Amino acid sequence: METTPKPETMTAEVHASGLETRDMLLNIGPAHPAMHGIIRIVAKLDGEQIEEADVEIGYLHRGFEKMAEQVDYNGVMPYTDRLNYVSPLINNVGYCMAVEKMLGITVPERCQYVRVIVSEISRITDHLTCVGATAMELGAFTVFLYMIKAREFLWELVEKVTGARLTVSYCRVGGVKGDLPDDFAEPCKKAFAETRKVLEESDQLLTRNRIFTDRMAGTGVISAEDAISYGITGPFLRATGADFDVRKDSPYAVYDRLDFDVPVGTTGDNMDRYLVRMEEMQQSMKIVEQALRDMPPGPVLVNPETGREIPAAEMVDLAKMGDINAFSGGCAVAGPTLEGSGRAHQPSIATDEKRVFLPAKEDAYGNIEGLMNQFKLVMFGHGIRPPNGEVYFPVEGANGELGFYVVSDGAAHAYRVRVRPPCFAIMSALEHMLTGDMIADMIPTFGSVNMIGGELDR
Amino acid sequence: MTELLITKVILAGFVVFAVLNLAGLHTWVERKQSALIQDRIGANRASIFGFRLFGIFHGIADALKMFTKEDVIPAGANKTLHTVAPFFSVLFSLVVFAAIPFGPTLLIPGLEPIHLQVAKIDAAVLYIFAMLSLGVYGVIIAGFASRNNYALMGGLRATAQMISYEVALGIAIIGVIMVYGTMDLGEIVDRQGHLIGGWLPMWGIVTQPIAFIVFTTAALAETKRAPFDLPEGESEIIGYFVEYSGMKFGMFFLADFLETIVVATLATTLFFGGWQIPYMAADGFHFPWGWDIPIDNWLYVLLGFLSFSAKTLAFCFVFMQIRWTLPRFRYDQLMDLGWKGLFPIAVVNVVVTAIIMTVMGKVG
């Protein structure tokens, strides 16, 4: 960063003696349509060719890692939403699994499947955004809107599960917030049908479009060796031909039980990255469909004969008056955002470790053990206390290996949290990929990096 | 003399009015058509006394906004050139319309026959190309006078693009000129009314299909719209007009639409028989299967004008469709297409046309 060349001013000097040419220094961004407002590239141009590119990052630094040291382990969850904000659920899962590894606990099988399902849906939304935005910046605005339409269907699924579209905060250390809604497979099927239609249309508009393939092929090339030495992972690495996928190579959750392919490219150019992403979306849908089929059934909900649904607020009132019996056997209805988190659901979505996971609302209101348990977890200075130690846990983010390194000194909040954001490594290789290409190639190359400021700058 | 002057002023006024309105409407068409393509509703909020009319007033809202915005001239820019550039763009795209015949000859008793064409120029084709070429100066000057590296690159791109595509464009037209033996657009349209073998109208698309494809492609490049919007290239270099605001920016925008309409009218005139309707002559329809429907002069003129308008609008529609479907070329790919694709095809087309015409005995 300290090597930023000093901008030269253009002078109107005329060289009458002959053809003396000079390089032009072009400052691209952060206020530039393709730079997302948070990247600055100082490019030295020979005509349209990029001779040098100096990439500057850091415009979206918000101190995620420091904030993660200030709050308790579950309190970090909303911050992880804002790392890669196009696929927040994968960040949730990654962080939770890192802390769970440190605590040495496992989550129920159904919860594992749920995490896989939401991760894969997020992966599709991420790839859709990446491919769509690249296409838009190349001038194919229509494809972008088609893909955003498909993403909308998927975000509706996410909303059904988590109650939010973007800031999901869905996972908890030791489980997830709530179970999948009833008959989740049905809307899932519909959304995937729409997504597949959009992918097919986009495929026709892009893959079979000579202009698009010419723009993508042969630009932003990086070899497998270079990619590995830069530490690049994910679709970007796989496009070079190196077959590495965290889901396959160090499987977590239930990925080892699911059947899916990892597409790899050959040349490591923008076209291969595009094709890898397109195929990964298909594979992700396949994974979700398998997971929905294989996952253990959820709980039998309240028996209408014996139990009844009571609004949570009413339950609180009854509990305040000490009328516990009035709602024993009932189940709390706590509004849509807490749907699926009741006592009946808890065994299938959360660990039974009481030192980690909040008790069901029925218990917190209905018995002293539950109440104390709740207090012990939410009160300042109490909460989850992992043993001393450090863990690193990688998951396959949409951009590549997303790793969380957590150090605990036994306190209720982490001593240190370090994120390994996948697009940081790719961004460091950007200069290498841009040099020698034309300025117009910067657009698809930068697009295929899928730079997400939230996780890059943290 | 006065009579002639008055007719010409009325004609010119009509053309400018129609063209500017059509260009204004294009902003609406662009919004709505892209919305239809992209499964959206499109702009529909602007209203006058509660009437929205499918968002047609957005054009007016745009104009109001453009006129009331501050006009910024960056420090260090050349004030004069910076101001003149947008006027160049609009002016040269507007004057082209003078040479385009938009209907047959109107006969009004007591007056000279009125050709529905503002200026009847012998070498109208040359005139149009001259004006189209001058139009690019607006872009170049805008790029160079703004004192902005992005604008400069836009101007450079525009220069290279226009030069390479004008060549292909010109050579494509040579085929048409050879077939019809004239450079007078009125004459070219008249001769497209002839029938080949008594039933096939001798339109440019029939006699010169290859030239039509080359012409449309190159002409699209002239309009600087996607997929040839390199001088603009909003996601790469933002465009030659990056330092423009207010109505001066609006004029570049307008010039874009005007050029689209110019190209549509030219394609209509040169390749789709201009105002001709198949089998329609001055005294009525004569169908090859023997029907004769006599029509009056006023109906003849009206039908001719409507036919011209319909064809032009159809071309505008097609261009818009292309604009919202294809991504943008890269600089070198654009040059490849121009010099290695269109240029040889156009030359071969001229040669083949010449050979066929010699064989058929039409030349010397």
- What is the reported pLDDT for A305? 52
Which amino acid is present at A355?
A: R
Average pLDDT of span B33-43:
87
Whether A159 and A292 map to the same domain: the answer is yes
Residue A287: inside a domain? yes
- Mean pLDDT, chain B, whole residue set: 86
- Residues from chain A contacting residue B330 (CB–CB below 8 Å): 214-215, 438, 440-441
Average pLDDT of span A44-66:
87
- Chain B closest CA to A33's CA: distance in Å? 5
Whether A278 and A343 map to the same domain: the answer is no
Residue A441: inside a domain? no
Average pLDDT of span B349-364:
80
Nearest CA in chain A to B145: A12
Whether A248 and A371 map to the same domain: the answer is no
- Chain A closest CA to B31's CA: distance in Å? 13
- What is the reported pLDDT for A9? 46
Asked if B238's CB is within 8 angstroms of A33's CB, the reply is yes
Domain span holding position A371: 309-378
Which one of A355, A378, A401 terminates a domain? A378
Question: Is residue B132 within 8 Å of residue B166, measured between CB atoms?
Answer: yes
Residue A18: inside a domain? no
Average pLDDT of span A149-154:
90
- Residues from chain A contacting residue B38 (CB–CB below 8 Å): 141-142, 145-146
How does residue B202 score in pLDDT terms, banded at 50, 70 and 90?
confident
Average pLDDT of span B18-36:
88
Residue A44: inside a domain? no
Of the partner residues B226, B238, B326, the one whose CB lies closest to the CB of residue A209: B326
Whether A315 and A190 map to the same domain: the answer is no
Residue A181: inside a domain? yes
Asked if A215's CB is within 8 angstroms of B331's CB, the reply is no
Which one of A352, A378, A404 terminates a domain? A378
Whether A229 and A320 map to the same domain: the answer is no
pLDDT at A440 over 50: yes
pLDDT at B362 over 60: no
Q: Which two tokens stand for residue B343?
A: 């240029």
Residue A401: inside a domain? yes
pLDDT at B348 over 90: yes
How does residue A392 score in pLDDT terms, banded at 50, 70 and 90?
very high
Whether A201 and A327 map to the same domain: the answer is no
Nearest CA in chain A to B232: A139
Residue A58: inside a domain? no
pLDDT at A73 over 90: no
* pLDDT-wise least confident of A191-200, B103-112, B181-190, B249-258: B103-112
- Chain B closest CA to A163's CA: distance in Å? 26
How does residue A126 score in pLDDT terms, banded at 50, 70 and 90?
very high
Whether A127 and A236 map to the same domain: the answer is yes
Asked if B325's CB is within 8 angstroms of A211's CB, the reply is no
Q: Which of A50, A211, A443 to substitute to test the interface with B, most B CBs within 10 Å?
A: A211
- What is the reported pLDDT for A329? 67
- What is the reported pLDDT for A2? 47
How does residue A17 score in pLDDT terms, banded at 50, 70 and 90?
low
pLDDT at A226 over 50: yes
pLDDT at B364 over 50: no
- Chain B closest CA to A434's CA: distance in Å? 14
- What is the reported pLDDT for A13? 46
Residue B13's alpha-carbon distances to A196, B18, B22, B26, B94, in angstroms, are: 53, 8, 14, 20, 12
Nearest CA in chain B to A149: B39
pLDDT at B34 over 80: yes
Average pLDDT of span A350-370:
79
pLDDT at A300 over 60: no
Whether A267 and A353 map to the same domain: the answer is no
- Residues from chain B contacting residue A145 (CB–CB below 8 Å): 38-40
* pLDDT-wise least confident of A234-243, A295-304, A441-450, B110-119: A295-304
Which amino acid is present at B55?
A: G
- Chain A closest CA to B329's CA: distance in Å? 6
- Residues from chain A contacting residue B236 (CB–CB below 8 Å): 34, 439-440, 442-443
Asked if A442's CB is within 8 angstroms of B330's CB, the reply is no
pLDDT at A11 over 50: no
Q: What is the pLDDT of residues B51-74, one digit of tens each?
A: 888 888 888 888 888 889 988 888
* pLDDT-wise least confident of A333-342, A424-433, B191-200: A333-342
How does residue A18 score in pLDDT terms, banded at 50, 70 and 90?
low
pLDDT at A94 over 60: yes
Whether A350 and A251 map to the same domain: the answer is no
Q: How big is the A-B interface in CB pairs under 8 Å?
A: 82
Whether A233 and A106 map to the same domain: the answer is yes
Whether A368 and A391 map to the same domain: the answer is no
- What is the reported pLDDT for A1? 43
How does residue A345 score in pLDDT terms, banded at 50, 70 and 90?
confident
The interface predicted TM-score of the complex, written ipTM, equals 0.82
Whether A223 and A97 map to the same domain: the answer is yes
Asked if A141's CB is within 8 angstroms of B40's CB, the reply is no
- What is the reported pLDDT for B314? 92
pLDDT at A50 over 80: yes
Residue A255: inside a domain? yes
Q: Bridge partners of A394?
A: A403
Q: What is the pLDDT of residues A318-342, one digit of tens each?
A: 777 777 777 766 677 766 667 667 7
The domain tally of chain A equals 2
Q: Which of B224, B328, B340 to substitute to test the interface with A, most A CBs within 10 Å?
A: B328
- What is the reported pLDDT for B144? 87
Predicted TM-score (pTM) of this structure:
0.85
Q: What is the pLDDT of residues B96-119, one digit of tens each?
A: 888 888 888 888 877 778 778 888
- What is the reported pLDDT for B242? 86
- What is the reported pLDDT for A308? 67
Domain harbouring A104, CATH code: 1.10.645.10
Q: What is the pLDDT of residues B146-183, one digit of tens each?
A: 888 888 888 888 888 888 888 888 888 888 888 888 88
How does residue A10 score in pLDDT terms, banded at 50, 70 and 90?
very low
Of the partner residues B38, B324, B327, the one whose CB lies closest to the CB of residue A138: B327
Distance CA B343, CA B337 (A): 8
